[in-house]
Amino acid sequence: MAGRGVEAPAAAVSTDFTHALKDSALAGLIAFGLFLPLIGFHAVQDIRNELVLETRWPLLFAFVILAMAGRLFGSLVVTPWRERRAARPRAVAAARPGATLARLFAPAATGFVIVYPLLVLWLAGLGGAVKWVDNFGIQILIYVMLGFGLNIVVGLAGLLDLGYVAFYAVGAYSYALLSQTFGLSFFMLLPLAGILAAFWGIMLGFPVLRLRGDYLAIVTLAFGEIMRLVLINWVPVTNGYAGISGVPRPTFFGIPFNATDEGFAAVFGLEFSPIYRTIFLYYIILALALLTAFVTIRLRRLPVGRAWEALREDEIACRSLGINTTSTKLTAFSIGAGFGGFAGAFFAARQGFISPESFTFMESATILAIVVLGGMGSQLGVAIAAIAMIGGTEALRELDVLKEVFGNGFDPTQYRMLVFGFAMVLIMVVRPRGLISTRQASVHLAERKAIAGTLVKEGRG
């Protein structure tokens, strides 16, 4: 197989090359047309507050060259490689050599995240550790937890939920309002917030779960937006745009984290530092995320979990086999919503302040991107995707080199959603089963059958 390219006559190679060059020139022309208005020109406000145009020819030129080079690379390298690979007979899937390593990876990773705050404390000291535990630990774990929750809905049951953030908001506002009004503690309200969110999941899910997949996605999007608009406009309860501030922070089983004599540091005879609260919060969200993962793993083995996966693969077959699709979907939707509610309550307790700004569609999209990137249905994939995407942008923010290159106003979070969107498209085109991990049904026939490529693409292989 390796000699195919060499054996081809020289004339064919040269026409291939001119063809590729032509293609590349065409791609350059299209790229020029595409990027001319938005990259070639920049509409900025001048001193009189009027819009004027600035030109950015070098940038436009760079984009065009990039498109041409990409196209050339595609037709000269990628396409022949693909053809060679397609021509090669598929090896029958044997036991993968990395299987044991993969089995050990999850417990090792869990062990690492458990000792992570202590490790950071040891390395960075009391003062420096807050940033590492908060920005890199808690922030990522919130998204891991949300990703696990949405994974039940999208990854296991195959219901595309674009309004997941609505349940996150229900949890956050439930905790904020109930704790301020009734003075209940975090650990009492945490389950309550989850139950309320799950209840909302049932209420919203019941009428819409009969709908076909893409309609369901749009309706959940509408619900998410309605929820946000109500939060903005129902000022007497939610305080509108201004949000709710002074949300009570969780205490260490009744001992608050403050500098007073009853505070955590004083009671345990330690020097006061905000790090203790941060570490405590870290372990709460870690416990919640692990709980979600554990429940999901167990649920997958139960009849309901298997029904979810069957539903994802083929709804009509499920109905023919007598599975009640509405109630099966409803359980997935409400359990996912419940975990979203837990995460929301934690978010409110951690921030101490919530406003509708935190619950926009972009938040739903971020969580969805994490689930899609991780490989729908895979727990480990979701966790790695969250670390790469959320932690990655946080890490970029730390790099001073980038500030020197791109100027002082460089903010990697600005590019985060750009990369997310692009990655979602790329994954769907290149590896629809996820970049990091492939989902696998919990039960499948032991004997692998050779089936058509289209069926494998649809997820039936």
| CB neighbour list of residue 170: distance below 8 Å, 6 or more residues apart | 193, 196, 197, 200, 227, 337, 340, 341, 344
Stretch that binds another protein, among 94-102, 119-127, 223-231, 301-309 (CB under 8 A): 223-231
Q: How far is the CB of 422 from another protein (least distance, A)?
A: 5
435 and 382 in contact (C-beta within 8 Å)? no
Measured in residues, the chain has a length of: 461
Residues in region 61-80 near another protein by CB under 8 A: none
Name the residue nearer to another protein (CB basis): 112 or 422.
422
CA dihedral sign, ordered 421, 426, 432, 437 = negative
| Binding segment (CB under 8 A) for another protein, from list 115-123, 246-254, 397-405, 413-421 | 413-421
Q: Convert residues 315-354 into a mask of x (bound to another protein by CB under 8 A) and - (unbound).
A: -x--------------------------------------
In the region spanning residues 367 to 396, those forming contacts with another protein, defined by CB under 8 A, are 368-369, 372
Amino acid at 343: A
68 and 31 Cβ atoms separated by less than 8 Å? yes
Q: How far apart are CA 411 and CA 164, in angstroms?
A: 26
Whole-angstrom distance, CA of residue 416 vs CA of residue 410: 12
> Quick one: which of 170, 264, 420, 435 contacts another protein (CB under 8 A)?
420
**Does residue 82 interact with another protein by CB under 8 A?**
no
Give the other-Cβ count within 10 Å of 41's Cβ: 15
Residues 436 and 385: beta-carbon distance below 8 Å: yes
Comparing CB distances to another protein, the nearer of 192 and 230 is: 230
**CA nearest neighbour of 427 among 416, 436, 415, 418:** 436
DSSP H helical segments within 36-78, as ranges? 57-73
Min CB(434)–another protein separation in Å: 11
- Contact indicator for 144, 383 with CB cutoff of 8 Å: yes
Strand pairing class (244-245; 353-354): antiparallel
Which one of 136, 186, 223, 347 is in contact with another protein (CB under 8 A)?
223
Please say which residue, 117 or 434, places its beta carbon nearer to another protein.
434
Contact flag: residue 5 with another protein (CB under 8 A): no
Binding-residue total with another protein (CB under 8 A) = 63
Phi-psi region at 343: left, alpha or beta (left = phi > 0; alpha = psi -120 to 50): alpha
236 binds another protein (CB under 8 A): no
Candidate segments 4-12, 174-182, 213-221, 275-283, binder of another protein by CB under 8 A: 213-221
Kindly tell me which residue out of 15, 79, 100, 233 binds another protein, with binding defined by CB under 8 A. 233
3-class DSSP string for 121-146: HHHHHHHHHHHHHHHHHHHHHHHHHH
Contact status: 226 vs another protein (CB under 8 A): yes
Per-residue mark of binding to another protein, 192-211 (x: CB under 8 A): ---------------xx-xx
Which residue do the tokens 């490529």 mark? Answer: 453
* DSSP calls for 339-371: HHHHHHHHHHHHHSEE-GGGGSHHHHHHHHHHH
Q: How far is the CB of 28 from another protein (least distance, A)?
A: 13
Which CB atom, from 158 or from 248, has the smaller least distance to another protein? 158
Q: Does 402 bind another protein (CB under 8 A)?
A: no
Listed ranges 112-120, 229-237, 245-253, 440-448: which one lies at the site for another protein (CB under 8 A): 229-237
Give the nearest distance from C-beta 185 to another protein in angstroms.
34
Residues forming the site for another protein (CB under 8 A): 30, 33-34, 36-39, 41-45, 50-53, 158, 160, 162, 207-208, 210-215, 217-219, 221-223, 225-226, 229-230, 232-233, 316, 361-362, 365, 368-369, 372, 414-415, 417-418, 420-425, 428-429, 432, 454, 457-459
